[in-house]
Amino acid sequence: MKHVAEIGSGIECGSAFPARGDGSRIDLLGCPFDRVSLTETLDLIVRAIEGPQRLPRRLLIATANVDFVMRARRDSSFREDLWQADLVTADGVPILWAARLLGTPLRGRVNGTDLVWGCAAISAATGCQVALIGAAPGVAARAAKRMIEVYPTACLTAIPTPFPPGKAESESLVEAIRALDAAIVIVALGAPAQERWLSEYLAASGASVGFGCGSSLDIISGDKPRASEWARRHGLEWLHRLLLEPRRLAKRYLIEDSPFFLLLLVELLRRLLGRAGRAGRAGSGRSA
């Protein structure tokens, strides 16, 4: 992970956030994705918490994958949460492949685990407080300990979180985050709970940045192995996770998420036929 001084080369203001309508956000089968790389995302986080080009409002990030796309198609409330997020990044190579096939390429993968490590680097360089909430008991604390071993000056605090947190528990979490004066809140409640929690409570927490990280804290803590670089690069991280947790993930990956590829094919054919139809009409117009 790069030192914070190397994070981003200073992207132009408005090139990714908060500008919209400039082609920086695409619609992929009903789910939004922003054209940002990991480096640019980390640069935006730095700008959200400090500096002369500080962003004008809080930065709510969602790291979305194929499962997010399919959940958003089934759940209108979750779809709205994603479209209301300030930044939606591609957490998965299949998303990059799909966007490229549809002629709307993204700038790169922004994985939740890499993003958490990046925030540890930012904390070490700036002194900002990072709050970790969610995950199974003890996981967030072990993840914080592991990251502090790599970045000794990082300020990472795990806040014990009941699951699922109700209104009273969430208000207690908000109070703990405010008492910590955390600039960044990382939430490991799983989708869509983590995105809904941030949508409702990020502003009240006083933090400048918030994002959900799924099982990233389990991986960083060492409780779960991460897929190899080769598997991640070739879009096989889902298979790695399925082999680790077949009972929990078989239905999600093999039944709920598999229609993604059929939907992608239908959308690709629709666009190709649309282009062919427009080209035909244009040719008829010229001959006339």
Model pLDDT, residue 169: 97
For the cut 70, the answer to whether the pLDDT of residue 4 exceeds it is no
Which has the minimum average pLDDT: 73-77, 122-126, 197-201, 282-286? 282-286
Partners of 129 in the β-ladder: 155, 182
Residue labelled with tokens 């994603």: 82
pLDDT at 28: 97
Q: What is the pTM of this model?
A: 0.88
Measuring CA to CA, which residue among 37, 91, 84 is closest to residue 64? Answer: 91
- Report which secondary-structure segment, H or E, holds 186: strand 182-188
Q: What is the mean pLDDT of the chain?
A: 89
Phi and psi angles of residue 141, each rounded to the nearest 5 degrees, phi first: -65, -40
The residues near 160 (Cβ < 8 Å, ≥ 6 apart) are 137
* Cα R_g (the chain), whole angstroms: 20
- By mean pLDDT, which of 20-34, 74-88, 189-203 is the weakest? 20-34
Q: Which residue has the higher pLDDT, 50 or 20?
A: 50
DSSP letter for each residue of 17-80: SS--SSSSEEEETTEEEE---HHHHHHHHHHHHSSTT--SS-EEEEEE-HHHHHHHHH-HHHHH
Q: Is residue 27 scored above 70 in pLDDT? A: yes
How many helical (H) and strand (E) elements, i.e. helices and strands, does the chain have? Answer: 13, 8
Residue-range domain boundaries for the chain: 4-262
**Residue showing tokens 């008829």:** 284
